[in-house]
A and B are shown apart, each in its own frame.
Chain A
Amino acid sequence: MKPSIFLAACVVLCLSTGAASAIDVAPAGAAACSGCHPVSRAIETPFTPLVGRNPTEIVTAIQEFRSGQRPGTVMDRIAKGFTDDEIKTIAAWYAAQKD
């Protein structure tokens, strides 16, 4: 198939499925996490990789950091800046990402 025809097919497909946005961007706050949490497991750091992680684990961890139930160094201070909905959205997005 010629690229231009293929593209046209893609456009038709996107329009017909009624996709809300052609651009998949990280939800608010999520992009900042990879300032510390490695984008790839090949990067050796003391920080938990978030990519592909069980979303419930992420939500629980952040909520416990926020409440003070789980001791943290900076995550206790950062978690206080996020609502439950934001945390859930970020966790779901990271869970769906691939290394």
Chain B
Amino acid sequence: MTRHPVSRRDFLRRTAATAATLGFATPALAQPTAGRVVVVGGGFAGASCARALKRIDPRITVTLVEANATFTACPLSNAVIAGLRDLPAQQFDYKRFAAQRITVTLAPAVGVNADARTVILNDGVRLPYDRLVLAPGIEIRWDALPGYTEAAAERMPHAWRAGDQTMLLRKQLESMEDGGLVVMSAPANPFRCPPGPYERASLIAHFLKTRKPKSKLIVLDAKDAFSKQGLFLNAWKELYPDLIEWVPLSKGGSVTSVDPKTNTLTTEFGIHKAAVANVIAPQRAGRIAELAGVADKSGWCPIDPVTFESKLRPNIHVIGDAAIAGAMPKSAFAANSQAKVCAAALAKLLAGEKPDEPKLINTCYSLVAPDYGISVAGVYEPRGGLLADVKGAGGVSPANASPDVRTLEANFANGWFTAITGEVFG
């Protein structure tokens, strides 16, 4: 971020921001704000949106509501699980947001009154908005897999929201005896980070190969196909032969129940007793989405592909993993891309203008080994009320790429993380 000398415009913006913060309701002072936007959720989607709004129009009053002072990023957290990276490298805070005059409110949002246009915080405070952005990410569906409760997750981590769960899985792998059986379960679509379970399987296999070579990994999958499948399966054959066994849906891979007491996962075809179990359970949009009435029966949030405004409630926009974004996957890159489009649309809407037709991009890198990266990319545009693939664009890394290209993509995976977190939190 570049600092500019204080101009009259800046002075004016500050006066407006101060007036809004202090709640001065006199029309003369309230006028300079270009509208009030509350953003709930400080992950890649919400934090990107709050900052993009201020970059586009500093007169907009922006409040970011987030329950935690520290954000722990999911991308690259599989490398933390495999002992290749430490958790603090995943962690960011909101200290830089004040310089942009974004008000960061560290409190859980517990409700939304869509008619009164207020967000309700856990201490009873009500934040008024002209437009609300919900970026709550995902929550685990504790009702979806028999036996898998919050207590069970302390024994059989999901590690699908980064932080303590990430470290729990890492510690279990570290303390496992050589020769132990690691069992992972992957959910049916849709879920956060489609290639994530397979990157995780790869890096756990790398950990086992280098540290506990007598061990084995079974991936029980509720699907018959997955993201970058050909690339992953080829890489596993090359790097981890006889170490990873992938059990698709059609071969009995769908987990029907788990038992934390015995650390077992049950499928229609049998029972798997694990030394370490990683249950990537079914998911839905974070709870505030349901409370605000923007989640449908699927548990996710239908949106307009131009503005990201909810199709269920006016003036509420949903971005990131919680949204039903058509062909766009639930990824950090997609969340950031959507956040910036949503911010531009909000600025236009608040100014009484028509938002532009957007084009969005996604790029997802996966590490198959520390020096072996693969990617998928896509370009998207609104079509038929959804975000659709731009035909002829996108796709995955070539099947026959050289080792140099795999190394380059592994470097790019790390470089991408630096660039995006620099934009969002730096």
Chain A interface residues toward B at CB < 8 A? 1, 3-4, 6-7, 21-29, 31-40, 42-47, 73-74, 77-82, 86, 98-99
Partner of B57, one of A1, A23, A73: A23
Flag whether B390 is at the interface (Cβ < 8 A): yes
18 residue pairs of the A-B complex, CB under 8 angstroms, read A3-B11, A6-B8, A23-B351, A29-B361, A31-B52, A32-B340, A34-B419, A35-B419, A36-B419, A38-B419, A43-B422, A43-B423, A45-B415, A47-B419, A73-B405, A78-B394, A81-B359, A86-B359
Interface contact B15-A3, CB-CB below 8 Å:
yes
Q: Which of B327-373 contact A (CB under 8 A)?
A: 333, 336-337, 340-341, 344, 347-348, 351, 353, 356-361, 363
Alpha-carbon separation in the docked complex, A4 to B26 (Å): 13
The complex places the Cα of A80 from the Cα of B394 at a distance, in Å, of: 7
Distance A77 CA – B228 CA, assembled complex (angstroms): 15
Q: Which residue of A lies closest to B341 (CB)?
A: A31
Closest chain-A Cβ to B362's Cβ sits at a distance in Å of: 8
Please give the number of chain B residues whose Cβ is less than 8 angstroms from any Cβ of chain A in the complex: 52
B residues at A contact (CB < 8 Å)? 1-2, 8, 11-12, 15, 28, 31-32, 52, 56-57, 333, 336-337, 340-341, 344, 347-348, 351, 353, 356-361, 363, 375, 377-379, 390, 392-395, 397, 405, 408-409, 411-412, 415-416, 418-420, 422-423, 426
A29-B361, A78-B363, A81-B361 in contact; A35/B426 too (CB < 8 A)? no
Q: Given the known A-B contacts A1-B8, A80-B392, are A35 and B363 also in contact in the complex, defined by CB atoms under 8 Å?
A: yes
Contacts of B358 in A (CB 8 A): 28-29
How many Å lie between the Cα of A3 and that of B15 in the bound state? 8
Among A29, A35, A40, A86, the one with the most B-chain Cβ atoms within 10 Å of its Cβ is A35
In the bound complex, do residue A28 and residue B359 qualify as a contact, i.e. CB atoms below 8 Å apart? yes
Cβ–Cβ < 8 Å partners of A46 in chain B: 411-412, 415
Nearest 8 interchain pairs by C-beta = A81-B379, A81-B393, A31-B340, A32-B361, A43-B422, A29-B359, A25-B344, A81-B390
| B22–chain A nearest beta-carbon distance, Å | 15
Contact partners of B333 in chain A: CB under 8 A? 35
Q: Which residues of A contact B423 (CB under 8 A)?
A: 34-35, 38-39, 43
Residues of A within 8 A of B336 (CB): 32, 35
Q: Is the CB of B418 within 8 A of A43?
A: yes
